[in-house]
Homo-oligomer: A and B are copies of this chain.
Amino acid sequence: MPTPSKKSVPGDNLGERETPKPWGKCAVCSLRDYRFCAAFTRRIAKNAPGLIRTEREAVPRQNLYRAREALRQMVLVREGVAFRYVLVPDGQRQILSFCLPGDFIAASGTLRDSAHFSVQALTPMQLCVFDKKDFVKFVESDREAMRALADICIGEKEECEARIVDLGRRSSEERIARFMLDLMFQLQRRGIQHTSFQFPLRQQHIADALGLTQVHVSRVIGKFRREGLINLSRGTLDIIDVSALRHIAGGQRD
């Protein structure tokens, strides 16, 4: 059942251990030329010195945000993976996307009071946090920043639409193959140039992202493994035969 198990987790919501830090740290961050940071960091340092960046950590299963809660902070992933999801009335879970390092967790929150999805950490995480009010003030005062924000939202929308096509018109094998390749390409864009990488998702997460059941995901992955396409164990995914997997995915993957 996709019902997320309820395990007691320390500090269920973000809150403790805020550490105001200077922007200097950004200068040595590997994300500094990636997406959000590339567009914002330097600009903020220059034009909005009053906007404080703080740091937070999160542990696996920790809730970073709950649907419909007031959005008070803007959160950027520095390390680790989280996912955005929606629970439907009958208890099922649909995962909307995974948030990787460099992703803004709720960019759209800049112009909204709350979001309709929840966010949960999948791995231990390092986060950069901004006060929302301050951030909004900055974005509204800086044309380039507003543009960058729009750009990020558009990118998310495009990913969303690609996912709609997957869910509406592709088989489970296609979806799973595409999903793995997608993840690989996303990591590659972040500088990890391997066909083997950390894969912290449980089969249930894949199932909830792709509209399948965990059991079925297990069968498909088993098949891929038996066919020598991938190897997946102990949190590492190794894509052995990229081109065969891409073929199953139905082409079109970057």
Contact = CB atoms under 8 A, between A and B. Distances in A.
Interface string A100-141: 000000001011100011000000000000000000000010
Query: What is the predominant secondary structure among interface residues of chain A facing chain B?
Result: helix
Contacts of A157: 108, 153, 156-157, 160
A150 B89 contact: no
A164 B96 contact: yes
A86 interface: yes
Nearest to A208: B168
A154 interface: yes
Contact of A88 (B92, B110, B160, B169): B169
Contacts of A1: none
A146 B160 CA distance: 22
Given A108-B154, A108-B158, A160-B164, 10 more contacts: A88-B169, A88-B170, A94-B169, A108-B157, A117-B161, A146-B146, A146-B147, A153-B154, A163-B164, A167-B168
